[in-house]
Structure 1
Amino acid sequence: MPELDFADARLHYRLGGNPDGPALLLLQGQANSQRWWDGVRTDFEDVYRTITFDYRGTGSSTAADADWTTRSFAADAAAVVQAAGFSRAHVYGTSMGGRIAQWLAIDRPELVDRLVLGCTTPGGEHAVERDQQVRRSLLNPDSAERRRALFELMYTDAWTGSPEESTVLGDPTMTAAATRRHLRVSARHDAWDRLPEIAAPTLVLHGDEDLLAPVVNAELLAQRIPDATLHVLPGARHAYFDEFRVAASGLVRDFLAAGS
């Protein structure tokens, strides 16, 4: 796996798919490595050169303790795209990855071709937070119960997979300190005032049964970002991209192809 060295970090990234295709950067959720995309990346690799990387504190990446933010992670993402040999890329970010993608599109507009924001929020005082019952379930001191609660927030009862098979329930290799820092990164995100600056054509995707990031946040993003397109998937929860993979990946592919 290629590496990108900084003075205070070493980031591991992965290239896949069509070596002659346009770049597609995939940005995963909070406290997860690039394995978040294991079940989805192949949906795009016949056409696109996919790029994923382990955030600081996750997977095979290493980094010194620092005040990480979604904006600093966006700078990391830009550096990875350029290290992979691309000057532009489509960007698909989900959950915290969608927050990072917002800053990437704001700070590096020349780098972002088309933008997809999935199951995410604008952050700050304008975002609609999860309710107290959800918060309590994720703070359960029993790790098994906490994981079970997260699984139920990610997937519907119809999902035939198991928590043991899922790659979106957190990176088990992370330290407790890194996990806390990721929580702080995501919680402190606020791009509201800058969202109207996003110039990239934008698709906002969300499940209407998402309790981790209530669907009203998708509506706020679509209203705030100029000419954004909103698509809500009926019956889907936070991991819509996995459980509703055929429909969700099809929507993303159609949106990206419209810019060709």
Structure 2
Amino acid sequence: MPHARTADGTRIAFQVGGVGQPLVLLAGQSNNHHWWDPVRADFEASYRTITLDWRGTGDSDKPDEVYSTPGFADDVVAVLDALGLPAAHIYGTSMGGRVAQWIAINHPDRLQALVLGCTSPGAKHGYERSQEIRRALADPARTDRVLLDLMYTPAWLAANPGPYPVLGDTTMPAYAKRRHLVASNKHDAWDGLPTITAPTLILHGSDDIFSPAANAQLLADRIPRARAELIAGARHAYFHEFHSVAGPLVLDFLRTQDRP
């Protein structure tokens, strides 16, 4: 598996598939590139998809040091450099959407268009999940079941027994999971959002309470010329359960931003 090397020497594993203009797909907190496995094919007929394993996950290095969403953004840029790509479309979901915000803010020349999914500007200014949800997720005996209920509708879960690629990388060391949690919790891109110049589409499930759906319009109001779309009935993993709706929305948006 190929790796990019960051400025601090960390090796970041990445994966490439499909043909066409480059589209980087960014996974959620404590997950690796398998987050995108169920829907990657939706994009690969039109785009060269690029995923990566966050530091601390998958086949990337796992240094026990401070992680941050701006730092993860620098890791994504290192992957673009390794591939010789001056710019790409960026689609980030959940924590990946937080990282994508920093790519747009700190590396505006490296992206053509931005898609933010089921994400927020950070706890200080965004809408956060309830304390009841936080307590439920803190119970190791219940974590996976609680996560599944937050990710998918009951009807979909009943019809799809798994496996589910969004429950986290089980190979992660405990310290890396803690580092990811702190990085996501400390995310605050509020002041930089108005400087984003990339065309931006924001997607969110209307029934998402893991990252409350009100964050979609909050981001759209903060980012110049951004547009928000709510996917009716969807929860946090809208991009998977409702891929027949979300995929075309993303593809139609990206095609209007493709470079000749």
The TM-score normalised by the length of structure 1 is: 0.96
Quote the residue 1:106 is aligned against: 105
- Quote the Cα distance in structure 2 between the aligned partners of 1:179 and 1:87: 31
Matches within 5 A, 1:119-134: 119-134=118-133
- Quote the Cα distance in structure 2 between the aligned partners of 1:60 and 1:35: 12
Residues 10-41 of structure 1, C-alpha deviations (whole Å, 9 max, x = no match) = 111001001xx111000000000010000111
Answer yes or no: is the 8 Å Cα contact 2:30–2:168 preserved in 1: yes
Question: Cα distance, 1:116 vs. partner?
Answer: 0.2
- Quote the Cα distance in structure 2 between the aligned partners of 1:253 and 1:141: 38
3-state SS of 1:125 partner: coil
Quote the residue 1:3 is aligned against: 3
Question: Cα distance, 1:152 vs. partner?
Answer: 0.5
2:223 pairs with one of 207, 219, 225: 225
Question: Cα distance, 1:8 vs. partner?
Answer: 3.8
Quote the residue 1:24 is aligned against: 23
AA partner of residue 2 (structure 1): P
Residues 77-105 of structure 1, C-alpha deviations (whole Å, 9 max, x = no match) = 01101211211100000000000000000
Q: How many residues are matched?
A: 255
- Quote the Cα distance in structure 2 between the aligned partners of 1:151 and 1:254: 29
Residues 115-144 of structure 1, C-alpha deviations (whole Å, 9 max, x = no match) = 0000000004111110111111101131xx
3-state SS of 1:117 partner: strand
Quote the residue 1:73 is aligned against: 72
The answer to whether 1:257 aligns with 2:255 is yes
Structure 2 unaligned segments of length 5 or more: list them: none
Quote the residue 2:137 is aligned against: 138
Quote the residue 1:156 is aligned against: 153
The answer to whether 1:47 aligns with 2:43 is no
AA partner of residue 216 (structure 1): A
3-state SS of 1:110 partner: helix
- Quote the Cα distance in structure 1 between the aligned partners of 2:69 and 2:191: 15
2:235 pairs with one of 206, 212, 237: 237
- Quote the Cα distance in structure 2 between the aligned partners of 1:4 and 1:77: 9
Question: Cα distance, 1:219 vs. partner?
Answer: 1.0
Question: Cα distance, 1:63 vs. partner?
Answer: 3.1
Question: Cα distance, 1:5 vs. partner?
Answer: 2.6
AA partner of residue 154 (structure 2): D
The TM-score normalised by the length of structure 2 is: 0.96
Answer yes or no: is the 8 Å Cα contact 2:14–2:51 preserved in 1: yes
Answer yes or no: is the 8 Å Cα contact 1:199–1:226 preserved in 2: yes
The answer to whether 1:204 aligns with 2:202 is yes
3-state SS of 2:77 partner: helix
Q: Could you list the runs of 4 or more consecutive aligned residues of structure 1 that deviate by over 3 angstroms after TM superposition?
A: none
3-state SS of 2:210 partner: coil
Answer yes or no: is the 8 Å Cα contact 2:5–2:78 preserved in 1: no
Structure 1 unaligned segments of length 5 or more: list them: none
- Quote the Cα distance in structure 1 between the aligned partners of 2:140 and 2:43: 39
